[in-house]
Structure 1
Amino acid sequence: MLRFRNFFCRSKLAATVIWISVSVLVYLAFRISLESSDPSRALVTSSDSESRMSILERRKILYDKMAKDLDEHGAAFLKHGETSQSLSISDLFEQKNDSVTPVLKMADPPVRATVLHLNSEHSIPISEAVREIFLPYFNGVIWFQNVSIYHSSMFHASHHITPVTATDDEIEDEANTVRGVAEVLCPLKIVLDRVVLTSTGVLLGCWQVTSGTDPAVIRAKLRDALPRAPKKQLYDSVLLHTSFARLLGRPKILLEKLETPSNQLQLFHELVSQLNKKLQGFEATMSELWFVEEYDVLALALNGRMKTRRFPLSCTGN
């Protein structure tokens, strides 16, 4: 009887060990499959320290590439070239009598964007630094981003490349869904990694995240919450950048040495370097997620018509 009991116990233990081993293997296989099918999700589901380091490194590589864009492609904005949205500068701005006026065109259907907002406590000192350095050289050929709507684009429920039409009720549902996502997100503490000038003339602030919910996680949550959204989004999943201003023409300096492209590029680099000396390491907080309907093309960038719904990052459950 004792032998039978010992045999039964050993058999039961062996079965339990086998069952646990099989469960672990099935779980690991599921994780590998999930991460292989979606690289951005792999960042989200990995351990927090590894995930943050991986995302930080990816952002740094991305910013290094953006910083080289001007040298690799030249100053296309001096030739009234295309913008980053595949539109020409003349499509977006009218320059007359040393002033710049945006050309507003109706967006049909309206673009529906989800953005992180940077409040005026942070945007005003940034804008003042940009104006101090660039305005003396580019007065009349520079457009400054409105300080009240400094932002970083996160996700589009519909954009101009792949429009997704929606009824008023569907748009309200999207807005409520974004509100629900915002409730579980934590405010982002961010630091300015660098400012870069792109070949299309945009002065971009490139941020790193020191704490809070990372943009890669935010975009993954919005992707899950808005299944009708365009599969191809406009930005890399880890990117966190803010437009400060856009250069539209040649610097207002009558010096022969600036006539050659190489000397023009040298001036641009010197001005960007001065701006970085002032702003690099600038700390800020982003604590609101906005759902924006842009009734004009690039309304957020051009002070066009828009409807904004503002949701605080509540960090519920974190």
Structure 2
Amino acid sequence: MPIELTKLNDSHTDQAALTKPHLMATSPLSCFSARPRPRSPGTAVWLLPAAVLLLLLNRWSHMASYPSVSPRGSGSVQVGRAELYSKMARDLDERGAAFLKGGETSQSLTLSDLFDTADDGAVVPRLKAADPPVRANVLYMDPKFAAVISKAVKDVFLPYFDQAIWFQNTSMYHFSMFHASHHLEPIVATEDEIEAEVEAVKGVTKNLCPLKIVLDRVVLTSTGVLLGLWQVESGTDPAEIRSRLREALPRAPQKQLYDPVLLHTSFARILGHPRLPKEQSASSFDNVKFFHELVAQINEKICGFQATISELWYVEEYDVLALALNGKMKVRRLHLGCNRQGI
């Protein structure tokens, strides 16, 4: 599924903070268990303009079919989610900053397949018609929550990357759940079949409860994607949502794009080298440590941030990575109805 990005915005941070470890030089631990005081966008004094989104398939998308899972019970789903996140947090240490070498993405696409560079140096997305269109079901985050996250990310990263970074569109933060058709296993559908899928998904959403989620941690992957990894405090768990969508969409690809317990969204995509601190020489520069310190600053700002998710979108992407690259798409917005008699 997509990649998520936005336009650049002026912001600044204390560059001296990166000359010494800010929080830690290793991958951040979960702050979920610490139960921080809930942060709410209602207390924030900023709002950021919407821009364009980037959600990149990451290497932990276990191309796996989804069994029927009930997260209410042993807690194994939450444990599995925590283990998955710990693995994802180690990726940068294990693989290094591969994105600085211009390697392929996890979709076997190079950055040059996804972006062009304008005359002023700004990165602009390349759009290509998707044949057939991708049909995706995603949970949607309200921009009032996304704006707080985007502000923190831009404050920390923008001073060091200028136009070599693409931020997620604050009006399009989303969590990929389940594909009725994707680029690896296209399932062609007529207009009538698509409408039948939409009605089936509507039936599912009537029995889904809104999710209260908390940001477990922020990580940077070896492919340059800054990810927010979330835990669920209440509501219908993503594992159960995917299981119900599987039952409602029997024609969907058996191999899906994400681990059943994963709940993530992309905050930004790094597309080039950072500007080095003035006192730092390129030969002695430790990229991994530098990125860990930036990520540690973001975690200090927003780890433990809470949000409520009350919509699921059925999206037809007419362009490749349309959700990611601001391409052509058709969106059906469905409210999570929480009919408890059906749960």
TM-score normalised by L of structure 2: 0.77
The aligned length equals 276
Match of 1:243 in 2: 266
Secondary structure at the aligned position of 1:278 is classed as helix
User: What is the CA–CA distance in structure 1 between the aligned matches of 2:281 and 2:170, rounded to whole Å?
Assistant: 31
CA separation of 1:258 and 1:306: change in aligned 2, threshold 3 A:
farther
Secondary structure at the aligned position of 1:200 is classed as coil
Q: Which has the larger radius of gyration?
A: 1
Match of 1:279 in 2: 302
Which of these residues, 88, 94, 102, is aligned with residue 116 of structure 2? 94
CA separation of 1:261 and 1:157: change in aligned 2, threshold 3 A:
farther
Match of 2:242 in 1: 219
1:299 CA drift (Å): 1.1
182-191 or 251-260, which deviates more: 251-260
CA contact (8 A) 1:116 1:154 kept: yes
Match of 2:230 in 1: 207
Match of 2:330 in 1: 307
Match of 1:145 in 2: 168
Which is richer in helix? 1
Which of these residues, 123, 132, 135, is aligned with residue 158 of structure 2? 135
Over the matched positions of the two proteins, sequence identity in percent amounts to: 62
CA separation of 1:161 and 1:261: change in aligned 2, threshold 3 A:
farther
- The answer to whether 1:77 aligns with 2:79 is no
Q: How does 1:118-197 map to 2 (within 5 A)?
A: 118-197=141-220
1:84 CA drift (Å): 2.8
1:174 CA drift (Å): 0.7
User: What is the CA–CA distance in structure 2 between the aligned matches of 1:131 and 1:249, rounded to whole Å?
Assistant: 16
User: Structure 1: which 5+ residue stretches go unaligned?
Assistant: 1-37
CA separation of 1:260 and 1:203: change in aligned 2, threshold 3 A:
farther
CA separation of 1:166 and 1:39: change in aligned 2, threshold 3 A:
closer
1:168 CA drift (Å): 0.8
User: What is the CA–CA distance in structure 1 between the aligned matches of 2:198 and 2:111, rounded to whole Å?
Assistant: 32
CA contact (8 A) 1:192 1:205 kept: yes
- The answer to whether 1:65 aligns with 2:87 is yes
CA contact (8 A) 2:80 2:261 kept: yes
1:85 CA drift (Å): 2.4
CA contact (8 A) 1:195 1:205 kept: yes
TM-score normalised by L of structure 1: 0.83
1:258 CA drift (Å): 5.7
Q: Deviations over 1:22-43 (max 9, x none)?
A: xxxxxxxxxxxxxxxx8842x4
CA separation of 1:258 and 1:71: change in aligned 2, threshold 3 A:
farther
CA RMSD of aligned residues (A): 1.6
Q: Which runs of 4+ in 1 moved over 6 A?
A: none
User: What is the CA–CA distance in structure 2 between the aligned matches of 1:277 and 1:198, rounded to whole Å?
Assistant: 18
